[in-house]
Structure formats: structure tokens, C-alpha cells
């Protein structure tokens, strides 16, 4: 079943009308039974700044040749050097290839427990889904398919869908509503500026940096080759981990801060199923550590109990 087609046309800055919720073409799930090894992405997710997607990003189909892509401008590409601050003990981990901006995670200890669970953990929303059963067979590597091609194809498609979902709620994600990039009361994602100082950014600015960085990665032929015979770089898996980790942070922020908007638009079933698919994929290939997924562990555990994630 293709659930993401129903949000086709809801790009950044577009109007949210019921008539827009019509499927237009096969989605990612059309690739689940592929048995050939020549899997190629069909177009770069964004060309230029992702803040300009609006109508162009909302209505365009991914059909043009990837070999004709123009190089993206590099002036806003962030670099992600992940540092996790647990009880004031930072631990440095991976760096990406481009020596620009970076981000950190700040975990805030709290003795008080929330009286009420977040909306996405309440029934009936936590059980709302379009797909019955798990996504295990969808994310597994098909026979005779190159593993790097499979990773690249799925990351490309998942990022496109996440970018479109963010376009749906972007107008509600402002510096006033979300002055920090948080994922609940205990997790805050900070930005390391050029001086190495950890600073708070509005969530919308943080996410725009992330989207620009991922877009540039996907458009870089040396990282995500699309031409026949193109070789994947030795650090390809590391890039995939960095990309999916940042994608998870966008999921977490939206769940904690904009799930009410998702419900208002009657998209909670689509969103939950999409998230279950994403988590199934990153678990299948060990792309995101469980510690990184801590803000949404209660939801992930619930989805596992429901059999949607195995």
C-alpha cells in the first residue's frame, strides 16, 4: 500500500486542501520487490536552496535525468560533528566530509515526570496507521541487489518524503513557536558555530541547514553516484549514518512540537506509517544508534509491540 502518495502536492508553502490529497504516482513501495542490481535514483531531491521548494517541490515528479544535475551552492552546507552531552560529559564522534557547520545534542536531566504523555503516545493516535503488519520485508535487501545501491535508493526516497512532510507543517514551525530545536523537554539539539561554540538555533533554521546539507550530499556524485559504473566512496556507510541521524531528529522534533498539526490535517496515519518504515529501515542496516533515538523510544517500543516494527 502506498500511503505517501496521499500527501503528493503538499510541498513547502502550498495550500492544504482535501483535493490535494490524491495519489499521483507510485511511491517508494513500488521498489520493494526489485530484483535487479541497477537501481538508480531518478532525480536530486532539491536543486538549490530547500527554502525555495514551494510549488516547484510540491508538484514536480522525480523523472528527470540525474546526470544533468547542476552542482549545488556550497555556502550553507553544514558539517555534522556529533557530540552527545550526558551529565556534562561530551563525547566526540563522526565528522562529515565538509568542514563547515556542525551540531550537538544536549540532554537535560529532569526529576519531574510529565503528568500527561505526549499526544502521539495517546490513543487512538498511537495506533493510527495505514499499513497492517511490519515493514520488515519492505526494507530487507532484495536478492541480487547491491547493498550500497539499496541504501542510496531508500535514503533518497525517505528524504524526499520527509522533506514533503516538513513542507506541510513548515508554516507552523517558526522562531516564535519553536525557538530551539528540541525533541521533548529533555533533549535539545544545539549548533556548533564556526568558533566551536554550541548555540541554540530556531528549529526552522536548524532543519533548513540539515535539509540543505542532505540535499548537497545526495547531489554529490562522489558520495551518491548515479551513473552506471560509479563507485561508492569508502565512507559511504558513515555518510548514510550521518544523514539518517539528522533525519531522525526532524522526526523527533515534529512528533513533539507539531503532531497536533498532523492530526488536524488528518495525516497521523500517514505519518506514523512513514515513521515505522523509517525506523525499520535504519534498524535493518544499523544506521542510527538506539541512544540517538532515545526521545522517541516510547513510541518505537509501542510500535514494536503492535508488530509494525520488528
Cα–Cα dist 291/185, whole Å: 16
122 in a known ligand binding site: no
Q: Nine-digit cell at 113?
A: 515526570
Cα–Cα dist 223/243, whole Å: 12
DSSP state of 293: T
253 in a known ligand binding site: yes
258 in a known ligand binding site: yes
Cα–Cα dist 246/206, whole Å: 10
3-state secondary structure 175-199: CCCCCCEECCCCEEEEEECCCCCEE
Q: Nine-digit cell at 19?
A: 483535493
* CA distances from residue 115 to 110, 118, 119 in whole angstroms, order as listed: 13, 10, 12
Quote the distance between the C-alpha of residue 285 and its chain's center: 16
Residues of the binding site for Zn(2+): 178, 253, 258
Residues of the binding site: 178, 253, 258
Amino acid at each position: 500500500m502506498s500511503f505517501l502518495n496521499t500527501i503528493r502536492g503538499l510541498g513547502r508553502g502550498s495550500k492544504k486542501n482535501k483535493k490535494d490529497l490524491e495519489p499521483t504516482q507510485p511511491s517508494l513501495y513500488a521498489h520493494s520487490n526489485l530484483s535487479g542490481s541497477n537501481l538508480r535514483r531518478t532525480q536530486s531531491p532539491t536543486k538549490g536552496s530547500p527554502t525555495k521548494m514551494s510549488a516547484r517541490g510540491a508538484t514536480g515528479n522525480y523523472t528527470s535525468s540525474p546526470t544533468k544535475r547542476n552542482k549545488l551552492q556550497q555556502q550553507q552546507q553544514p558539517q555534522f560533528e556529533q557530540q552527545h552531552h550526558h551529565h556534562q560529559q561530551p563525547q566526540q564522534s563522526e565528522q562529515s566530509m565538509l568542514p563547515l557547520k556542525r551540531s550537538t545534542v544536549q540532554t537535560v536531566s529532569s526529576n519531574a515526570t510529565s503528568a500527561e504523555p505526549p499526544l502521539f503516545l495517546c490513543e487512538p493516535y498511537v495506533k493510527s496507521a495505514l499499513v497492517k503488519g511490519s515493514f520488515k520485508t519492505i526494507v530487507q535487501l532484495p536478492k541480487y541487489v547491491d547493498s550500497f545501491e539499496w541504501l542510496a535508493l531508500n535514503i533518497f526516497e525517505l528524504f524526499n518524503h520527509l522533506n514533503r512532510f516538513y513542507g506541510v507543517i513548515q508554516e507552523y514551525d517558526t522562531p516564535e513557536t519553536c525557538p530551539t530545536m528540541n525533541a521533548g523537554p529533555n533533549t535539545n539539539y544545539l549548533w556548533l558555530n564556526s568558533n566551536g561554540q554550541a548555540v541554540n538555533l530556531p528549529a526552522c533554521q536548524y532543519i533548513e541547514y540539515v535539509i540543505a546539507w542532505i540535499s548537497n550530499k545526495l547531489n554529490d556524485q562522489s558520495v551518491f553516484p548515479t551513473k552506471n559504473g560509479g563507485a561508492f566512496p569508502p565512507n559511504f556507510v558513515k555518510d548514510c549514518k550521518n544523514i539518517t541521524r539528522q533525519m531522525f531528529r526532524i522526526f523527533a522534533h515534529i512528533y513533539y512540537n507539531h503532531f497536533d498539526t498532523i492530526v488536524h490535517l488528518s495525516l497521523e496515519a500517514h505519518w506514523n506509517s512513514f515513521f515505522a518504515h523509517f525506523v525499520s529501515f535504519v534498524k535493518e542496516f544499523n544506521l542510527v544508534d538506539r541512544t540517538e533515538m532515545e526521545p522517541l523510544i516510547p513510541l518505537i517500543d509501542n510500535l514494536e509491540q503492535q508488530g509494525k516494527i520488528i
